[in-house]
Amino acid sequence: MKFPSVATNRKLVTSTEINKKISDMTSVLQGFWAADRWDIRICPHPSAIELSKNPSLKNRWVNFDKVENIWLKTELKYFYYVHLNNGTWNAKSVWIRKGTVISRMLGFLNLNYPDITSITEVPIKKALSEYRTYLAEQGVRTTTTNYKLDINQKKIPVYANSYYVTNLKQFMEFYEDFYFDGDEWEKDVWNRRKLSLSEDKVNPTSYEYTINFKGFENDYFKELVKRYCKLMLNTRSFSHVVDTASRLKEFFNFINKNCNGIRRIHQLTRNEVEQYLNEINLKGLKPSTVTGRISTLDVFFFTIQRFEWNDSPSKILIFQEDYPKVPKAQPRYIDEHVLEQLNGKLDKLEPYIATMVMVLQECGMRISELCTLEKGSVITDKEGDCFLKYYQWKMKKEHVIPISKEIAALILVQEQRVADDFDNGCEYLFPRKDGSPLKQDTFRVKLNELAYEEKIMDKKGEIFRFHAHAFRHTVGTRMINNGVPQHIVQKFLGHESPEMTARYAHIFDETLKKEFIKFKETLVTNNGSILELSEDNSEADNTDLQWFKKNINAQALPNGYCRLPVIAGPCPHANACLTCTNFCTSKSFLNEHEEHLDRTKEILNRAKQNQWQRQVETNERVKNRLEQIIHSLKETN
């Protein structure tokens, strides 16, 4: 098997082929698009027809006649024609947002490159550097400052190229790709929209469109990684391969910089690998992040050895001992204190985002599942109860869960909004303007901007940062806290294994509630509410049963049971069990409660006769509690 070939930096078709392509462009640019001056008032594009009706429109023209070079002029026209007609841009983007930008760029190209036959004759770096100088001399800023919220919910500046520089860069990169002599796999940037990947490989709610192999300091290692990533795309998701390429680039650039003489994989020894492991372990990364780096390298070495690539490690380079101990993951649920603030500010969000928040709080979906929710996802059974049917991207399967009629109504209202906006031509419940599903980042950004602007605080007094997945953890934690059996939580959330659901179980020891069923009684709380307990004892084992007996007997009361575990210490309420939320009782204590009520009424009458106000208030509360409890116990079977 041969070593992979080393590609040159710019592999373009011949000048003859470029001339032919430019000729083809000319044949496409007919009618309006062939003109050297594009007048928005007669542009046939639908978005231009709509924009031209705006009486305040100032930029009427895009003037390509500034460029004397006919080859360059054709490339420029075709560039804007393609982006307008494939939906990347609309008329507003070209005539308004880029109007002045285009004019500056045309002037620069005409001045600096009057004699070239294609923009690809000029290296991108060289052109961008010259353009920045050109703009600066004209007093135009070449950078722009935006602001975003960091992980600590602090606004930080983000510096980027101005629209002027970005537009030239887009133009040049378009033709570097357009004239590339080879298929997509040979490029240094793979565009997933050109790879014809199956739907299960691509999450449409992600902004990841490319795998970038630029930046490798050694072309040989770059081509090897490209071959490996192409193999991985047969079985792994696009986003996984994006991470793989990035991590392997980090490793091989480290080797190229720090390990002289290592230019092939089979030359690697344990010494070089240990140098790299030491490097990443000194970065202060989380154990899970370090594990990801090591795992990527481990799988890479193992795979190319297994498939007997000509250049592969001569011995094992990664060992189990190299992996750090990763702390057991705990649910990152959202505190009720934060949720109350969020729900009080939902009216500040756009209606569709507010609806998404409400659905997440009840259903615990992954954000990718919510963003790709389709119209018609609400279904009902013969009794009129509602269910939500959706696709789980992670598990690659359909999933159905019960939902409240209130959430079902919210979803149906959103369906109508989409029908009104898209004339029933969009399949998604939360679409973007082009009809594709909403991106995850859009939801996160809008929610965290709300937290920042409305000062949604955690209990430490700091602005809370929302993570979409935390809503899922919150639902799981709530269900466990409310005594829902773990296997039911697993089914509701669509977990494949009990271990995934078990992450929530540490929040509340459900054994206590499950084992109350051993009494075969209906339990009533101090306010008369019936404790709804599962009768499924399949998960209970002998250890749990012994734990329960030991603890519940220690907390038995003359008229019921205390749900406060012994390990929590002495009861803080002394003899006030009826007002304690940890108190519960059953029908077997009904006689004691009725006798207690009779005594309480006698004391209450005496207190009223003597106008002992404090005693009246205290015993009135006891009387009301007892009446609630007795009523609930008598109503139970």
Given 45, 247, 495, 596, the catalytic residue? 495
Given 10, 41, 286, 394, the catalytic residue? 394
Which residues are CB-contacts of 536 (< 8 A; sequence separation ≥ 6)?
A: 485, 487
331 contacts 473 by C-beta, under 8 angstroms: yes
Given 222, 366, 514, 596, the catalytic residue? 366
Alpha helices in 1-123 (DSSP H): 15-28, 46-51, 70-85, 91, 99-112
Query: Could you give the angle at the alpha carbon of 475 between the alpha carbons of 470 and 481, nearest 5°?
Result: 120
Structure token pair of residue 103: 């004019």
- In this structure, how many other beta carbons lie within 10 angstroms of the beta carbon of residue 196? 7
How far from each other are the two terminal CA atoms of the chain, in whole angstroms? 78
Q: CA 552 to CA 508: how far, in whole Å?
A: 16
Given 21, 45, 472, 563, the catalytic residue? 472
Of 124, 215, 228, 235, the C-alpha closest to 185 is: 228
Judge residue 218's burial from the number of C-beta atoms within 10 Å of its C-beta, 0-12 exposed, 13-18 middle, 19 or more buried: middle
> How big is the chain, counted in residues?
637
578 contacts 600 by C-beta, under 8 angstroms: no
Respond yes or no: is residue 141 known to be catalytic.
no
The pairing of beta strand 143-149 with beta strand 155-161? antiparallel
Give just the sign of the alpha carbon dihedral 267, 271, 277, 278. negative
508 contacts 514 by C-beta, under 8 angstroms: no
Respond yes or no: is residue 21 known to be catalytic.
no
154 contacts 161 by C-beta, under 8 angstroms: no
- In this structure, how many other beta carbons lie within 10 angstroms of the beta carbon of residue 635? 11
Q: CA 624 to CA 596: how far, in whole Å?
A: 12
Given 469, 487, 601, 623, the catalytic residue? 469
Render 270-306 in DSSP notation, one character per residue. HHHHHHHHHHHHTTT--HHHHHHHHHHHHHHHHHHHH
Respond yes or no: is residue 504 known to be catalytic.
yes
Q: DSSP secondary-structure letter at 313? A: -
Q: Residue 520, by phi and psi: left (phi above 0), alpha (psi -120 to 50) or beta? A: left
214 contacts 249 by C-beta, under 8 angstroms: no
Q: CA 197 to CA 145: how far, in whole Å?
A: 36
Given 465, 504, 513, 514, the catalytic residue? 504
Which residues are CB-contacts of 459 (< 8 A; sequence separation ≥ 6)?
A: 335, 337
Respond yes or no: is residue 328 known to be catalytic.
no
Judge residue 416's burial from the number of C-beta atoms within 10 Å of its C-beta, 0-12 exposed, 13-18 middle, 19 or more buried: exposed
Respond yes or no: is residue 573 known to be catalytic.
no
554 contacts 565 by C-beta, under 8 angstroms: no
Respond yes or no: is residue 467 known to be catalytic.
no
Query: Could you give the angle at the alpha carbon of 319 between the alpha carbons of 314 and 322, nearest 5°?
Result: 130
The pairing of beta strand 556-557 with beta strand 560-562? antiparallel
Q: CA 478 to CA 333: how far, in whole Å?
A: 9
SS3 label, residue 378: strand
Kindly give the interhelix angle for 613-635 and 590-609, rounded to the nearest 10 degrees.
150
Q: Which residues are catalytic?
A: 366, 394, 469, 472, 495, 504
